[in-house]
């Protein structure tokens, strides 16, 4: 508890406030009233950052229920701010003179760790331009304590040309206030309301016909609220909903989400969607080109086949017909059938599967080259371009890998839908060893040109070597050869495959696997390192 003289408060339960002197320490009022053993009125606050003192109870009396054991505080009204208007924030941000303290904060550290003051060249000209509100088109009012619009009709006359407005981390919670702000800014195209805890949408908003980009990250907005907002957002092109605990997509009057006829990008990163059926409810958004689903709980991907298409609502529109980018990083996808399903998306050229079990080679996942080979149309994978060279090398290496596995189990070919197509494309013949009177022999091009590079710290500078090696050479045998090639008898070696487009080399950790088993192709680069 923070004690100070009492004053008139005017606080109400549900109101958003911030700590006086710290506009980034934001919370929700949960209680207003007396506290046993103390005089005057107290305000109970549940802090967003969880940094309070208790769970809403003091000396055995429960005044309110905080979201965690130590996110609540009881404070005096003067220690809290109810916020300022949008216009006051504009004045404070763009017209107030910087204080001596703020000037002192502008410095860099020298090599001797001393502060060297920095003077912003042209600061007065920049400040003068920004202070001419009638010319202002972009404004950032993040964490300024904005809680209400201000005097009616004054916003439009003050900043008539505002196109982009960032209101991240303020005290707004009522959609009616948002509607008033947008209604007075007819040129507004982009609005960021992230980290404003929005109350459930109740009253009608005016049509927000000019809004093209709306950012609602960490606002508590669920899909039911999105459906209600849809009727006002008639021209929305980008909608960002990161971190809102969305687990279900709930269309208002159909099996699929309707409307959003201009929506090109939908960002649902860091939510709780676990079932692919929920994602399929977005499949009839006809302009959707980018769908972000990183950091959800998805276990699989399934694009409907023709039979399933007939079971869907009658439509001539293919699911996700215009989708070009689907990001699925950091989910729970662990099967290659899901990977292969991405080939069925009509126009998909970019995807992300990093931080999924299927891409984790240390836990039974498959390396980048296998994923690229299985994904026929992908041009950008895990954030990096798939060059024609990388695609060719990956597909050839993949075919060799499959060939080596088919020797042990011919039925495995069913698990590789692109194998026959790629084998034919590159004219690759079976290279398995055949045993004759003279012992093991290879058929086809059984030798590979491999470049070996020493990278170990204690190995010294050694020139790379390019060697012709049988495709049946095992990793263990290659380590032995490297000891001889580079005179490294006293070191325990480990080998890595350096792949084009892959951010990190791949550890070759199975001494019994051959180059062919691992799908290593001609002109590959193997890094020779030492065990720690």
Question: For tokens 């220690």, what's the residue?
Answer: 79
Question: Closest Cα to residue 452, out of 524, 518, 530, 516?
Answer: 524
CA 97 and chain centroid, separation: 38
- Model pTM? 0.82
Residues 6+ apart with CB under 8 A from 485: 452, 465, 467
Domains and CATH numbers, the chain: 13-79 (2.30.30.190), 83-96+121-303+318-390 (3.80.10.10), 445-528 (3.10.20.90)
Determine the pLDDT at residue 434.
38
pLDDT at position 435, please?
A: 37
* Residue numbers of the chain with a pLDDT score lower than 70: 1-9, 97-131, 203, 306-316, 430-445, 501-503
CB 227 within 8 A of CB 252: yes
Give the span between the Cα atoms of 487 and 502, in whole angstroms: 29
Question: Please, is 233 exposed, middle or buried when counting C-beta atoms within 10 Å of its C-beta (0-12, 13-18, 19+)?
Answer: buried
pLDDT value for 422: 94
Provide, for the chain, the percentages of residues in helix, strand and coil under a 3-state DSSP scheme, each rounded to the nearest 5.
25, 25, 55
Q: What is the pLDDT of residues 302-330, one digit of tens each?
A: 998 754 554 454 555 799 999 999 999 99
Confidence (pLDDT) at 270: 98
Q: What is the pLDDT of residue 18?
A: 96
Taking alpha carbons only, the member of 464, 461, 532, 474 closest to residue 498 is 464
Measured in residues, the chain has a length of: 532
d(CA 516, CA 428) in angstroms, rounded, equals 13
Tens-place pLDDT, residues 252-297: 878 999 989 999 999 999 999 999 999 999 999 999 999 999 999 9
Residue with tokens 């193997």: 526
Per-residue model confidence (pLDDT) at position 436: 37
Specify the DSSP class assigned to residue 18.
E
Q: What is the distance between the alpha carbons of residues 30 and 452, in angstroms, rounded to a whole number?
A: 66
Strand-pairing partners, residue 266, are: 239, 291
Separation in Å, CA 86 to CA 161, 278, 442, 496: 15, 38, 77, 57
């Amino acid at each position: 508890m923070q004690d100070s003289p009492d004053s008139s408060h005017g606080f109400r339960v549900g109101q958003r406030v911030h700590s006086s002197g710290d506009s980034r320490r934001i919370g929700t009022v949960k209680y207003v009233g007396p506290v046993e053993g103390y005089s005057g009125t107290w305000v109970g606050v549940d802090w967003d950052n969880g940094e309070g003192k208790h769970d809403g109870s003091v000396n055995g009396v429960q005044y309110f229920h905080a979201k965690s054991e130590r996110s609540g505080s009881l404070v005096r009204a003067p220690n809290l701010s109810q916020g300022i208007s949008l216009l006051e924030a504009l004045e404070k941000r763009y017209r107030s003179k910087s204080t001596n303290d703020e000037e002192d904060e502008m410095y860099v550290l020298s090599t001797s760790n001393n502060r060297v003051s920095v003077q912003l060249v042209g600061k007065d000209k920049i400040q003068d331009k920004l202070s001419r509100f009638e010319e202002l088109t972009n404004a950032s009012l993040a964490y300024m304590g904005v809680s209400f619009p201000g005097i009616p009709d004054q916003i439009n006359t003050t900043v008539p040309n505002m196109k982009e407005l960032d209101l991240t981390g303020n005290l707004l919670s009522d959609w009616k206030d948002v509607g008033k702000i947008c209604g007075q800014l007819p040129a507004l195209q982009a609005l960021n309301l992230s980290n404003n805890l929005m109350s459930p949408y109740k009253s009608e908003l005016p049509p927000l016909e000019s809004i093209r980009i709306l950012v609602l990250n960490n606002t508590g907005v669920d899909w039911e609220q999105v459906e209600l907002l849809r009727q006002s957002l008639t021209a929305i092109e980008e909608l960002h909903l990161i971190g809102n605990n969305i687990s279900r997509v709930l269309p208002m009057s159909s099996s699929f989400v309707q409307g959003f006829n201009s929506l090109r990008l939908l960002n649902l990163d860091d939510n709780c969607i676990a079932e692919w059926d929920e994602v399929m409810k977005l499949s009839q958004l006809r302009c959707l080109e980018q769908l972000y689903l990183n950091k959800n709980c998805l276990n699989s991907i399934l694009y409907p086949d023709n039979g399933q298409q007939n079971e869907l609502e009658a439509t001539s529109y293919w699911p996700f017909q215009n989708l070009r980018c689907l990001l699925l990083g950091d989910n729970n996808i662990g099967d290659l059938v899901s990977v292969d399903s991405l080939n069925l998306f009509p126009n998909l050229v970019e995807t992300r599967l990093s931080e999924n079990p299927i891409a984790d080679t240390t836990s039974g996942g498959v390396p980048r080259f296998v994923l690229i080979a299985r994904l026929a149309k992908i041009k950008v994978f895990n954030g990096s371009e798939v060059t024609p060279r990388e695609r060719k090398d990956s597909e050839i290496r993949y075919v060799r890998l499959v060939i080596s596995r088919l020797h042990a189990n011919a039925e495995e070919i069913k698990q590789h839908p692109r194998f026959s197509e790629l084998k034919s494309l590159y004219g690759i013949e079976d290279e398995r060893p055949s045993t004759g009177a003279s012992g093991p022999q290879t058929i086809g091009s059984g030798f590979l040109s491999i470049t070996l590079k020493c990278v170990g710290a204690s190995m010294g500078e050694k020139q790379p070597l390019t060697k012709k090696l049988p495709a049946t050479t095992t990793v263990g045998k290659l380590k032995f050869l490297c000891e001889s090639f580079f005179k490294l008898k006293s070191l325990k070696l480990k080998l890595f495959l350096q792949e084009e487009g892959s951010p990190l080399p791949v550890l070759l950790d199975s001494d019994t696997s051959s180059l062919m088993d691992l799908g290593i192709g001609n002109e590959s680069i193997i890094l020779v390192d030492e065990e720690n």
